[in-house]
Each structure stands twice: as structure tokens, then as C-alpha cells.
Amino acid sequence: MMIFSDLQAEVKRRATRDQAGTTFDTAVKNIINTSLYRLAREAKWRVLRRDSSFDTITSYTTGTGAVTVEEDSKNVSVTGAKFLTDNVQVGRLVKFGGSSTIFTIKTITSETAFTIDMDYDGDDATDEDYEIYPQQIYNLPIQVSHRIILWHREWGYPYQLDFLTDQQFLERGYDDKTTGIPIAYRMWSIDMVKEQLKAASIIKASSSSASDTTQKVAIYGVVSGYPDFEQISLTGTAAASGSKSFTIIEKVAKDASTTGRVTITNSAANTTIAVLPVGDTTSGIIYRKVSLYPLPNSVFPIQVYYYKDPYYLVNDYDIHDLGGDFDEAIILLSVSKIKYETSQEQGDKWYAMYKDEVANLRKTNVDKFDFFPTLNKSKDSRFARGNDLVHPYLDKRQFGAYF
């Protein structure tokens, strides 16, 4: 299997006929990485198959009976709660005993206090009950591609979750407050943020290596309601602080390669916002997020079968995720891209060789995604006629999640 420097040398040899110089070194590196990603998307390659899991998070009621709320106020305090320690996320739904309204947590300002999205419409109280609904949105394992299967054993056997688009979820009128054992999921977002800020905060960045003192980290997001960004100069393992108070983080990036892994946190260092890998200057870790339905009523693992996106090659000694069988395909596609810049005929020739190589790889390296054992219930949408109709005049929303 070729290391990154071998791939670069071979691409340059075939594309430029051993012309000397380093003028196009950066361009060749970029072309190899884009070719690697293109090849990874050509098929469900067995070598990229992975399995992992994440645990569900159920209702939170710590300190119930000790809630202070005021009519027409968004501020809530809960004696005995530990919102930061227990990593309660913003965006979760919450209800109070003195109101029939369902609120959303907007910010978490301390271990015992948070704000809600609307003014409280009940009476003033200092001993109110409350419940934060189970967590809805979860991070999938890092570098998950769009090809995934989610399943669990909570019924005693493997049960595969159905995929719902957002439009299907909204059109069918599902109740997003329903709790139970999840039977479906939605893809929610793709970003570089491991966890969003709990409240407006100055941002800190630190490296795992003391030698990272010249690089800068760019933070993109929202400040005072408007898009904004700033750069933070690394100071090794000591946390370097920015000056702007962000409410939302959308993207982070480095301006140069680093020896260590860079961690981005809020000013209190109780929220890990993002992580930038060692050496990588092109992107951070990508997180795909899913939303479960119904909200999980207990804690148990959701298993994830998936195909991973390959990591970028950065250092000369890096090796790619696909394995030695795929070296030739990466080289052929990279050379074809270079040839296309000067000759359509030469580009077509090399691209045809790439397609032939991929066809050969498919014979022995592609998965048929049929290895997953699952039992289906009669309620399963795959057996339903129409859009979840269980009777000509009734549908699922009138019965709940399990009918």
C-alpha cells in the first residue's frame, strides 16, 4: 500500500512525465484527496464498513418540586439540578406543572438555571414540578457517510429504525413529544460542531502540543444576532481566548498544519464545541446528527452500521482508508483530472482507465447490504397501504407511535 508521498510521486510521474520542480505539489495533494473522496462514494466498499453505537438520553427531572418560575419571564431556576455537570443540551423540550404549554430550553446559564423560548404563562411559583423531555438529537460516529442503518435490541431482538424525511414527519402530523422506544429517525444536520453552546460565550482554543504557537483558528458563527467570525492565535497547550461572545458556532478551521489536536471550548471550558485533528488544515471532524422518534423513554444503545468517509491525507507518511487495492484507482483518477486541464482526449483516456479499474474493484470489494438480520412487525410501514393508514379514515397520528 502506498503512503501519501508515494501517491504524489506516481501521479506526478504519469501526469507530467517526470518534469522537475515543486510548483504543482500542493495542487497534486489536493487532487489526490478529492479523488480519494470521489472513489469512496463510488460504491459501498467493504473496507469502509464500520459499526458503533450511542446511548439514548431520557427525561431529566433532578430537583423537581423545587422550581422557581415567574409569570411573563423566561428565567427558570431549579434547586438541586446539575444541568452543566449532567450535560443537558439546549433545544430540549420542557414542561412545568403550572402550565400546559411545552417550552424549549434556549440557554443554560448555570448548574441550576436556564432560560426558555417563551414567557412563562403560569402563576409565580417556587416549588413547581418540571420535566425536561428525553433528548431528541444525537451525534453519529465521526466521519459517517450518508449510508447508515440504525437498530436496537430493546424489544429483545434486532429492530431496524425506519428513515423519515422531515417532510414526511411534518405532513403525517407525528407528535414530537411522544415518548417510547424509537422506531424511526430523521437526518438532522451535518456540521463540525460536536456540541452547540449552552449560552453566549467567549471561545477558547488549545492544542495537545506545546509547539503549536504560530497557527490561528478561525471561528465562524453568530454574535449579537449577526453572522461574525474571529481568529484565535494558538499558545500551545494553554487555552487562548477570543474576544467575541458567540451564541452559535457554525464552523471552525485552522490556517496551517498543527502538531497537536486542537480543541475548541467555551470560556468556562465545560462544553467541547469542536475538535480539529492533528495536521489537518482542510477540515475538522464532520458530525452527522439524527433525530429519534419517539423520544426514548429509557437509556439503551442505538447500534449504528455505516460506511465512513475517508480522512484527508496530510503528511507524507499518511495512508488512506481504502487500502492497497485502491491505489491504482486513486492514481488514475488524479491523473485524469490533471490531463483534462490541457487535453480532453488525454483526460478521457485516463478517466476510461479509472472506470475500468473501479469496475474491477467492484467484483471483489463491494458489499451487498443484506447482512443485517431484522424482524418486522405488522405495524411496520413497509407493510402499510398508503401513507400510514390503518383505516380509511384514521392514521397513525390518531393512535400514537406503535399503531
Q: pLDDT tens for residues 297-340?
A: 999 999 999 999 888 888 889 999 999 999 999 999 999 999 99
All cell numbers assigned to 125: 411559583
All cell numbers assigned to 23: 510548483
- Please name which of 288, 234, 276, 270 lies closest in space to residue 252, comparing C-alpha atoms: 276
Q: What is the DSSP letter of 35?
A: H
pLDDT(247) > 50 = yes
pLDDT(394) > 70 = no
Q: Hey, which of 101-105, 168-172, 185-189, 341-345 has the most confident mean pLDDT?
A: 101-105
Mean pLDDT of 368-379: 49
CA distance 108 to 90: 7
Element (H, E) at 25: helix 25-40
pLDDT above 70 coverage of the chain, percent: 88
Residue 124 — very low, low, confident or very high, per pLDDT cuts 50/70/90?
very high
pLDDT for 256-303, tens place per residue?
888 899 999 999 888 999 998 887 655 567 888 999 999 999 999 999
pLDDT at position 385, please?
Answer: 41
Q: How far is CA 24 from the centre of its chain?
A: 33
pLDDT for 13-70, tens place per residue?
998 876 667 778 888 999 999 999 999 999 999 999 999 999 999 999 999 999 999 9
CA distance 267 to 203: 6
Grid cell 482554543 is found at 205
> What mean pLDDT value characterizes the chain?
88
CA distance 315 to 30: 12
pLDDT(211) > 90 = yes
Is residue 168 within 8 A of residue 259, CB to CB? The reply is no
Flag the least confident range among 8-22, 186-200, 299-313, 362-376. 362-376
Cis (ω within 30 of 0) for the bond into 141? no
pLDDT at position 232, please?
Answer: 97
pLDDT(399) > 90 = no
pLDDT at position 90, please?
Answer: 94
Mean pLDDT of 234-258: 93
Mean pLDDT of 82-102: 95
| pTM to 2 decimal places | 0.83
Phi-psi domain of 233 (left: phi exceeds 0; alpha: psi -120 through 50; beta: other)? beta
Query: Strand pairing of 162-163 and 184-191?
Result: parallel
pLDDT at position 256, please?
Answer: 86
CA distance 35 to 390: 48
| Residue 400 phi, psi (nearest 5) | 120, -170
